Amino acid sequence: MAIGNKTLDTKITAMKKIYFIANFFVLAFLMGCTNETNDINLDALPAPKNISALATITQDNSGRVTILPRGEGVSQYEIYFGDATITPAFVRPGASVTHIYKEGVYPVRIVGTTVNGKETVVTQEVTVSFLKPTNLQVSIARVSANNFARTFAATASLEAYFQVYFGESATEIPTDFMQGEVISHTYAAVGSYAVRIVALSGGAATTVYEETIVISNPITLPIDFEAAVPPFGNFGGAYSEVVANPALGAVNGSARVGKLTKGSGSEVWAGSSIDLAGAVDFSAKKIMRMKVWSPKAGAVVKMKFETFVASDATNIEVDVRTTVAGGWEELSFNFAAINTSNAYVRVIVFFDFGNPGGGESYYFDDIELVTGSEVLALPLSFESSSLVYAFENFGGTDTKRIANPDQTSINTSATVGATTKGNGSEVWAGSSIQLANAINFSTIKKLKMKVWSPKAGIKVLMKLEILNPTPETNIEVVATSTVANGWEELSFDFPSIVNANNYRRVVFFFDFGVNGTGATYYFDDIRQSN
């Protein structure tokens, strides 16, 4: 601003230097209180950005305007009022300054300065009028990524600033905003809301715009995150969002998935919710399936359904443990005990329930309601209480599902498979289990299985068959155990497998090539993994 007064210029410059020196010494003091090895390069600090001001006026014809400067990276503001006042006001971040204006339009200049002296200058018009605002135009728009969010903007003549009432409460405190500013608001639930936007001037008269908006939610089951993005309700320190699939593969080839981050120190019950467009129909189907990627096996995944009343009498929840670390698996949640007369409209997921968060992330996808019975499929963990694990034995073996005799190390599962190779049984004695559907080997061509053997160095042969096996279609791989009396995970690689053969039967042989001695071998968590 050209002032034409050298003495005044000198005073302003001196005042700026005093503020700068004060800020510098504050920063120097803070640096001295930290580790001396953490040097700060002041010259590298960028100039301030997003400089603006909220100017509100008292509705009493006094012309009293309160200016609240805003910005990022600012250590102090200079406010040039744009009228006959020459000396600027120096304002610290978060503080405001009051100035008396006559009627008119004033180019208020806001100068944001960093601690290293870099400046950003923005000029913003402030209208001071004691007349009623006219030509009020309002824009209310949807937010594409959030069905519950709306943006608000307004223009008018003779206005000083605007206030918006979002319509969620009868005692709501309005939100102030300026012309040219776009503000957003996220509603807590579906419904109709009476929005009111008020244009204010320096007088008592105001101009009001009113509109009833409808917040609806098109999210329905199944939820796959490929199209509509649900507004997540986060609590306890968890945060959910929709992201690109971090591990495309046979179990989950979707492009987009949900991601829940359980923040460091978050509650043991931290989780996220999704409100659905309507109640879930549990009348015929009772099993909810969800694909999950967890950084560790054995984590409790809790799925909960609520009505909008969300009382203890209507909530229902089911826990399932993950069996795979660092890979996708499909978990089934059996809601056979659900009360179908309740209108369940909210699904909630919790990961590693019962443990505080450590900043780890979990991914989830394809939440869908399926038939009332589970089916045998990979990953195979032997944990289901409703499935029948029908083993076929040959050559002198006996295989069944039992309680895990050694819940330690890499396998803390409650139940496992157990094969006893009878005394004198054939060298090729083994057992098989048939899956409901063919294994998809289009992308992932390796199977893993946790094994417990009473001795190291035994050969474990895994063989895959179609429903009507022939020597030409069967395929088998041998792995060798390395641990005695403990769990380990063996890998079976099928690089040349023909996916079109539709392999559905998994056959396993323990201590292959050696006659049985009555020893028992345990196995668990058969899964695909690269």
Judge if 510 and 448 occupy the same domain: yes
Length of the chain: 530
Q: Is residue 42 predicted with pLDDT exceeding 70?
A: yes
Other Cβ atoms less than 10 A from the Cβ of 127: the count is: 22
Q: Is residue 467 predicted with pLDDT exceeding 50?
A: yes
Q: Cα separation of 19 and 76, whole Å?
A: 8
7 or 159, which is more confident: 159
Judge if 322 and 348 occupy the same domain: yes
506-516: average pLDDT: 96
Write down the pLDDT at residue 454: 96
Per residue in 485-503, pLDDT tens?
999 999 999 999 988 888 9
Which of the 8 DSSP states describes residue 252?
A: -
Q: Is 521 helix (H, G, I), strand (E, B) or coil?
A: strand
Q: Which domain holds residue 246?
A: 233-370
**Nearest CA among 342, 331, 89, 63 for reference residue 203:** 63
Within-domain flag for 50: yes
197-201: average pLDDT: 96
Judge if 238 and 362 occupy the same domain: yes
Write down the pLDDT at residue 502: 85
Write down the pLDDT at residue 302: 95
Write down the pLDDT at residue 383: 85
226 or 54, which is more confident: 54
Judge if 114 and 147 occupy the same domain: no
Q: Cα separation of 388 and 144, whole Å?
A: 46
pTM: 0.46
Judge if 442 and 487 occupy the same domain: yes
Per residue in 234-264, pLDDT tens?
999 999 999 999 999 888 988 999 999 999 9
348-358: average pLDDT: 95
Pick from 181, 215, 249: which residue ends a domain? 215
349 or 8, which is more confident: 349
99 or 40, which is more confident: 99
Q: Is residue 360 predicted with pLDDT exceeding 60?
A: yes
Write down the pLDDT at residue 54: 95
Percent share of the chain, pLDDT over 70: 90
> By mean pLDDT, which of 87-101, 210-224, 483-497 is the weakest?
210-224
270-286: average pLDDT: 89
What is the total count of domains within the chain?
Answer: 4
Judge if 115 and 169 occupy the same domain: no
Write down the pLDDT at residue 41: 76
Judge if 407 and 503 occupy the same domain: yes
Q: Is residue 109 predicted with pLDDT exceeding 90?
A: yes
Q: Cα separation of 241 and 232, whole Å?
A: 7
Cβ neighbours for 455, distance < 8 A, ≥ 6 positions apart? 481, 484, 519
Beta-ladder partners of 330: 291
Write down the pLDDT at residue 231: 79
Asked if residue 473 lies in contact with residue 516, where contact means CB atoms within 8 angstroms, the answer is: no
Within-domain flag for 486: yes
- First-residue to last-residue Cα distance in the chain: 67
Amino acid letter, 75 = S
Write down the pLDDT at residue 366: 94
Judge if 288 and 407 occupy the same domain: no
360 or 343, which is more confident: 360
Q: Cα separation of 91 and 112, whole Å?
A: 10
| Domain CATH code at residue 175 | 2.60.40.10
| Domain CATH code at residue 464 | 2.60.120.260
Pick from 182, 215, 248: which residue ends a domain? 215
Mean pLDDT estimate for the chain: 88
Q: Is residue 392 predicted with pLDDT exceeding 50?
A: yes
**From edge to edge, which strands make up the β-sheet containing 206-215?**
175-177, 161-165, 191-200, 206-215
438-465: average pLDDT: 91
Judge if 258 and 354 occupy the same domain: yes
| Residue 29 banded pLDDT, cuts 50, 70, 90 | very low
Write down the pLDDT at residue 340: 86
Percent share of the chain, pLDDT over 90: 64
Within-domain flag for 380: no
